[in-house]
């Protein structure tokens, strides 16, 4: 069994594959993400506006209530006797009614002397609602009232030493005003009113939960709509892909089902029309190809009989050429040469027709490519000497075996070497042989005219020539490389070409060690080492 990390990696790979291949998933995910971003921005804006509205409304109320309380206090003090009343008693008479009203209205009160001491409220003998922690009043607000000052307020964090009815701990507002006590030589005192924001906090939490619930439902709705819309678009595309794959596999009768009259239906109709036209053209091309193959095969076979007769007459004339005058002698020799070339052309055409008909078969055995290279060099030595060219073999000292048809492999290498001699420009040609445990290869390297851009793929076309004005010195038919490519494919191998103008070319034949074994690499490089160094 696989370990948890391997299962996790497998799951991640499957998820990534699904993400790459599914347009519907990407559309839904993109739509949901964009919607989530929009909902988040709008929700944050609404929450901010709601919070500011609740807080501003609460501030206005508590400040107005605190000002009313302070106004009542000042009215009572205006009618209070002066020094005939005890100072402590006047403070109690002042603060106790406020504390009592605060218990019913949900606020706490503090009465403290307004002295520039810079200390805490406890230092000045303050009177306050029991259970209230005097640290609930920010020090900055206390210092604001060290001297005469107008009414002020600020936010705070209410703390208590014991529960106070109607005043929970948490965020709150402090409003402060100054009053003058006649019993204390008209000294100034500060009244602090503390109001809780717990109700607003609860309201804001309720609004936040409502927004989150609404956002989640909205995103689910958007995801469902996006999935439905994407499905309506992607489903016909997937059907078109399946039909296209079946068409590519040769099932030319496959068509898309057309429903409706919308753009997708019109696309399906256009697709079906295109498939019908392609089917018609492919059948026409198949018929033309069949007729062409039959024509080539029939002509090749039919020419055999007259060629045999002409060959017999030509041999008689060639044998008796010594008794002819010079002009007749030259004509007899030209006749013999062209008959040889004509026989090679007919043989190549018959071989091509067998490939086209799928009738070519292999007579496989273990073949040593080193021996093949040396035999081909011996076969082409006369042609190479005629062109003042040397063909050199570079290979391992041991055998380089591959399961192949020796006749076809020799023909491939002979065609490559002959082609190289034609284009070597009197420079040496190198046959490189190499192999490994999976494949064996032969490369033919020349330093002649080379190949231009794009010509490495065209060089295997039938009757193709890089330079039509260039004369053939080997008497080739123009089918050699095409036959070589077909022979290579029959073995399941590779036949590749490389070239640069003025730097020559290199053709590489790669065969599997065993027939049917897939090729993954070649033991020889396609681009020559000397070309890499000069590049």
Q: What is the DSSP string of 65-131?
A: HHHHHHHHHHHHHHTS-STTS-HHHHHHHHHHHHHHHHHHHTEEEEEEE--TT-S-GGGGT-EE-TT
Measured distance CA(208)–CA(50) in Å, rounded: 10
How far apart are the C-alpha atoms of 41 and 229, rounded to whole Å? 25
The owner of tokens 């309201």 is: 203
Contact 228, 217 (CB under 8 A): no
How far apart CA 376 and CA 282 sit, in angstroms, is 41
Question: Strand pairing partners for 498?
Answer: 506
The reply to whether the predicted model has a pTM over 0.75 is: no
Residue 115, pLDDT score: 63
Phi, psi angles (nearest 5°) of residue 408: -70, -35
Q: What is the pLDDT of residues 24-49, one digit of tens each?
A: 788 888 888 999 999 999 999 999 99
Which stretch of DSSP H or E encloses residue 41? helix 23-78
Q: Delimit the CATH 3.30.450 region(s) of the chain.
A: 80-196
Which pair of structure tokens corresponds to residue 377? 């060099």
By percentage, how much of the chain surpasses pLDDT 90?
A: 23
Task: Kindly provide the b/e burial profile for residues 128-165, where b requires at least 16 CB atoms within 10 angstroms of the residue's own CB.
Answer: bbeebebebbeeebbebbeeebeebbeebebebeeebe
Query: 104 is written with which tokens?
Result: 């019913």
For residue 516, what is the DSSP state? T
Model pLDDT, residue 359: 65
Q: Which two tokens stand for residue 93?
A: 């008479």
- Selection from 495, 487, 481 nearest residue 524 by Cα: 495
Rounded distance, CA 340 to CA 282, Å? 38
CATH fold group of domain 255-360? Helix Hairpins (1.10.287)
Q: Give the β-pairing of 504-512 and 439-446.
A: antiparallel
How many angstroms separate the CA atoms of 143 and 191, rounded?
14
Q: What is the pLDDT of residues 415-447, one digit of tens each?
A: 899 988 988 888 899 999 999 888 999 999 998
Cβ(215)–Cβ(43) below 8 Å: yes
Q: What is the DSSP letter of 464?
A: -
pLDDT in tens, 206-246: 999 999 999 999 999 998 888 888 888 777 778 888 888 88
State the pLDDT at residue 234: 79
Q: For domain 80-196, which architecture applies?
A: 2-Layer Sandwich (3.30)
The answer to whether 499 and 505 have CB atoms below 8 angstroms apart is yes
- Per-residue pLDDT band for 534 (boundaries 50, 70, 90) equals very low
Indicate if the pLDDT at residue 470 is higher than 80: no
The CATH 3.30.565.10 domain(s) of the chain lie at 362-534
Distance CA 446, CA 448 (A): 6
CB 110 within 8 Å of CB 192: yes
Q: Give span(s): CATH 1.10.287.130, the chain.
A: 255-360
Question: CATH assignment of 362-534?
Answer: 3.30.565.10
Query: Cα torsion for 212, 213, 217, 222, to the nearest 10°?
Result: -10
DSSP state of 518: P
pLDDT tens for each residue of 76-132:
877 766 555 566 777 777 788 888 888 888 898 888 887 644 446 655 567 888 888
User: What stretches of 249-325 show up as alpha helix (H) in DSSP?
Assistant: 263-319
Q: How many other β-carbons are positioned within 10 Å of the β-carbon of residue 239? A: 15
Residue 297: the pLDDT is 67
Percentage above 70 pLDDT, the chain? 89
């Amino acid at each position: 069994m696989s370990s948890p990390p391997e299962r996790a990696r497998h799951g991640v790979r499957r998820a990534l594959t699904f993400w790459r291949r599914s347009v519907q998933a990407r559309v839904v995910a993109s739509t949901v993400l964009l919607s989530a971003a929009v909902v988040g921005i709008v929700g944050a804006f609404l929450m901010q506006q709601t919070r500011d509205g609740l807080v501003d409304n609460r501030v206005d109320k508590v400040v107005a209530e605190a000002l009313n309380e302070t106004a009542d206090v000042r009215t009572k003090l205006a009618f209070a006797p002066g020094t005939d009343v005890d100072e402590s008693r006047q403070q109690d008479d002042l603060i106790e009614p406020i504390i009592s009203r605060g218990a019913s209205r949900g606020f706490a009160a503090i009465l403290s002397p307004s002295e520039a001491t810079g200390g805490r409220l406890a230092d000045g003998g303050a009177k306050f609602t029991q259970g209230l922690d005097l640290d609930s009043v920010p020090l900055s607000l206390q210092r604001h009232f060290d001297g005469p000052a107008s009414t002020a307020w600020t936010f705070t964090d209410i703390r208590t030493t014991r529960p106070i009815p109607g005043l929970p701990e948490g965020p709150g507002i402090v409003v402060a005003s100054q009053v003058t006590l006649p019993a204390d030589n008209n000294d100034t005192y500060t009244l602090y009113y503390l109001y809780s924001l717990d109700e607003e906090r609860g309201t804001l939490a309720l609004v936040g939960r409502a927004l989150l619930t609404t956002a989640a439902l909205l995103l689910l709705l958007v995801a469902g709509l996006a999935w439905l819309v994407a499905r309506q678009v992607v489903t016909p595309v997937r059907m078109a892909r399946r039909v296209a794959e079946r068409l590519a596999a040769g099932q030319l009768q496959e068509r898309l089902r057309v429903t409706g009259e919308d753009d997708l239906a019109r696309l399906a109709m256009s697709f079906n029309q295109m498939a019908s036209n392609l089917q018609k053209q492919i059948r026409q091309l198949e018929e033309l190809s069949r007729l062409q193959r039959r024509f080539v095969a029939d002509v090749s076979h039919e020419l055999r009989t007259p060629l045999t007769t002409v060959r017999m007459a030509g041999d008689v004339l060639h044998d008796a050429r010594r008794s002819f005058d010079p002009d007749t002698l030259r004509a007899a020799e030209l006749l013999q040469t062209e008959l040889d070339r004509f026989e090679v052309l007919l043989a190549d055409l018959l071989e091509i027709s067998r490939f086209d008909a799928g009738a070519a078969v292999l007579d496989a055995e273990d073949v040593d490519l080193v021996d093949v290279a040396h035999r081909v060099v011996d076969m082409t030595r006369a042609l190479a000497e005629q062109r003042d060219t040397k063909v050199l073999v570079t290979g391992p000292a041991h055998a380089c075996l591959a399961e192949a048809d020796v006749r076809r492999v020799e023909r491939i290498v002979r065609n490559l070497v002959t082609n190289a001699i034609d284009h070597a420009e009197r420079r040496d040609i190198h046959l490189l042989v190499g192999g490994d445990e999976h494949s064996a290869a032969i490369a033919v390297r020349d330093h002649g005219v080379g190949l231009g851009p794009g010509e490495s793929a065209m060089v295997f076309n039938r009757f193709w020539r890089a330079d039509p004005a260039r004369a053939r010195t080997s008497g080739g038919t123009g089918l050699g490389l095409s036959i070589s490519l077909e022979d290579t494919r029959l073995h399941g191998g590779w036949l590749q070409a490389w070239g640069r103008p003025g730097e020559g070319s290199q053709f590489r034949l790669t065969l599997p060690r065993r027939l049917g074994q897939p090729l993954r690499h070649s033991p020889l490089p396609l681009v020559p080492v000397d070309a890499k160094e000069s590049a």
